[in-house]
Chains A and B, each alone.
Chain A
């Protein structure tokens, strides 16, 4: 089982709709979770992080974490064409002083005007 798994897509969503991206992880002890966005030909950039169970909202983005089920999701409300990108889920693995960020395969999202 991969440490972090995502549906690679592509996921196609009409403009203005809600885009829902999902991720599961294997290490039950993981505490920190991140969503990165990567435009084609660019480097990944952090858009959200979440540490606690429940929802965390930032503008049009909401991250949801369920540690019991070992999944984390990202919702994008009022999707815009500029949201078209690959979204990478990442999880911190390891112990204090030796922690590494491991990424899922990424989900390619396309917002259709």
Chain B
């Protein structure tokens, strides 16, 4: 299996621009998670889906952030408009029921 796939791996954009991060979970996994990691705040859970349905989005920092999972093999995290404080590494992870959670390689986002 290819593991969790994320794209792009690196993104540099200017403040105010829209940013879209993409994730393909491991085939057969029914839960998908989006995390953000910074030095100051560590690894924070933003939102997670079970069977393509958002279960808990309490970690989404504000309305500028949105996430979708249109099918079992694809999810997006969108930031519009982006701000410099959104600069972080964004990880996607997937899991099958209560089994081990596997992380993707992450997207390093820099907002200038």
Q: In the bound complex, how far is the Cα of B106 from the Cα of A44, in angstroms?
A: 10
Which of under 10, 10 to 19, 20 to 34, or 35 or more describes the interface residues of B?
A: 20 to 34
> Within 8 Å of chain B (Cβ to Cβ): is A98?
yes
Write the nearest CB–CB distance from A110 to chain B, whole angstroms. Answer: 17
Q: Is the CB of A92 within 8 A of B42?
A: no
Chain B residues, Cβ within 8 Å of A43: 91, 103-106
Apart from A45-B103, A100-B45, A105-B42: 7 A-B pairs, beta carbons within 8 A: A43-B91, A44-B43, A97-B50, A98-B50, A98-B55, A101-B45, A106-B42
Spell out A's residues near B (CB within 8 Å).
Answer: 32, 34, 42-46, 49, 88, 92, 94, 97-106
Spell out B's residues near A (CB within 8 Å).
Answer: 33, 35, 42-43, 45, 48, 50, 55-56, 91, 93, 95, 98, 100-106
Q: Is the CB of A88 within 8 A of B43?
A: yes
26 contacts between A and B (CB under 8 A): A32-B98, A34-B101, A42-B105, A43-B91, A43-B103, A43-B104, A43-B105, A43-B106, A44-B103, A46-B100, A46-B101, A49-B100, A97-B50, A98-B56, A100-B45, A100-B48, A100-B55, A100-B56, A101-B45, A101-B95, A101-B101, A103-B35, A103-B43, A103-B45, A105-B42, A106-B42
Q: In the bound complex, how far is the Cα of B50 from the Cα of A49, in angstroms?
A: 22
Q: In the bound complex, how far is the Cα of B5 from the Cα of A24, in angstroms?
A: 32
Chain B residues, Cβ within 8 Å of A104: 42
Q: Is the CB of A92 within 8 A of B45?
A: no
Output the nearest chain A residue to B48 by Cβ-Cβ distance.
A100
Write the nearest CB–CB distance from B35 to chain A, whole angstroms. Answer: 8
Chain A residues, Cβ within 8 Å of B48: 100
Q: In the bound complex, how far is the Cα of B12 from the Cα of A32, in angstroms?
A: 37
Chain A residues, Cβ within 8 Å of B50: 97-98
Chain A residues, Cβ within 8 Å of B98: 32, 92, 99
